[in-house]
Each structure stands twice: as C-alpha cells, then as structure tokens.
Amino acid sequence: MPQVPIFELTDRAIDCEQLKEALRDDRAGALITFEGVVRNHNEGKKVRALSYEGYEPLARAEALRIFAEAQERYQIIKCLAVHRVGELAIGEAAVFLGVAAAHRDQAYQASRYIIDEIKKRLPIWKKEHYLDGSADWVNCSHGHDQEREYEHKPQLAGGK
C-alpha cells in the first residue's frame, strides 16, 4: 500500500535534499524530482523577485486529489510536493515535487501530470516583481480575484 502523499505550503526555504530522502523506498526503482526555481526574467522583463499567495485548506485538499489521481493512473509508490508562499529571491526553490515508482516511465509520467495539475488547479497565485519597480500577477489560471470567493482571506503557511 503506498504511503500517504504529502503536500505543504510553506513560507520557509524548501529543503530539497531532505525531501528527496523522504521519497526513498525499497519498492521504488525510480525517483523523479522537480525543483521549480525563481529565474531572473520572464517574457522579456527582468525579474528581481517573486511572491506567492495561497489558500492552504483548498490547496491541500486539491493536491491530495491530484496525488490520488496520479497514483491510480501511474501506480506510484510515493509522492510529495512543497510550494513556497511569500517573497522569494532569484535562485530560490518555489516548488519541489517528488515521485517514487517501481519503473521510470511511471515516475516520469506521474511527475509531469502532478506538476501540470498543481499549476492548473491549486489556488496559488504568483506575482512577479521587476527591476524597474513594477509588478504583475502572472500565470494565474484561477485569477487572483478568486480569493474573494472564500469566506476568509488566504492565510500564508505559518500564519502570516
């Protein structure tokens, strides 16, 4: 029976090495990890930092649904994901995803499926801060205004 998947929103730096160790399992012949890091540019603009907001209760519930879908489709053994919230500097990990499976094809397919679904379905909003002092919400398939649909304003991990 696969271990219960893990999902977390955090305002602390992501310890990717510790998360890789948590994926280890004697049944797994493949461990796939993905680290999404903050880059210094997007669509021709020079980026100085990113900030993320997320609605944790809904994000966690939806992530667990995505993990269950991936487990059913690809027979993965373990999966976990951690996404940052708050302000991030260039080079920092914004998201970590790890998948363990018996075979590499299952792990690759599940990893791609999970990260794509996380980006599409989770209430996590990204704001780019540019070197020229401007800022824009970007790649927000849910739209930043969606938070108004919730009874409470989104709470960042750690209660901030």
Domain parsing of the chain, residue ranges: 6-143
CB 48 within 8 A of CB 127: no
* pLDDT tens per residue across span 51-68: 999 999 999 999 999 999
* pLDDT tens per residue across span 111-159: 999 999 999 999 999 999 999 999 999 976 544 344 333 333 344 444 4
Half-sphere exposure of 65 (CA within 13 A, CB side): 10
State the average pLDDT over residues 18-37.
96
Output the pLDDT for position 139: 75
Residue 104: C-alpha distances to residues 20, 30, 32, 114, 117 (Å): 16, 5, 8, 15, 20
- Amino acid letter at 66? I
Sign of CA dihedral 109, 38, 133, 155: positive
**pLDDT bucket at 106, cuts 50 / 70 / 90:** very high
Which has the closest alpha carbon to 34: 71, 80, 103?
80
- Burial of residue 9 (CB within 10 Å: 0-12, 13-18, 19+) is buried
The listed CATH number (3.90.1170.40, 1.20.1250.20, 1.10.10.10, 3.90.45.10) that belongs to domain 6-143:
3.90.1170.40
- Amino acid letter at 72? E
Output the pLDDT for position 150: 36
Percent of the chain with pLDDT over 70: 84
Which has the closest alpha carbon to 54: 138, 147, 118?
147
CB 49 within 8 A of CB 87: yes
H helical segments located in 75-103: none
Which has the closest alpha carbon to 53: 116, 115, 142?
142
Tell me which H or E stretch contains 88: strand 86-89
Distance, in Å, from the CA atom of 141 to the CA atom of 146, rounded to the nearest integer, reads 10
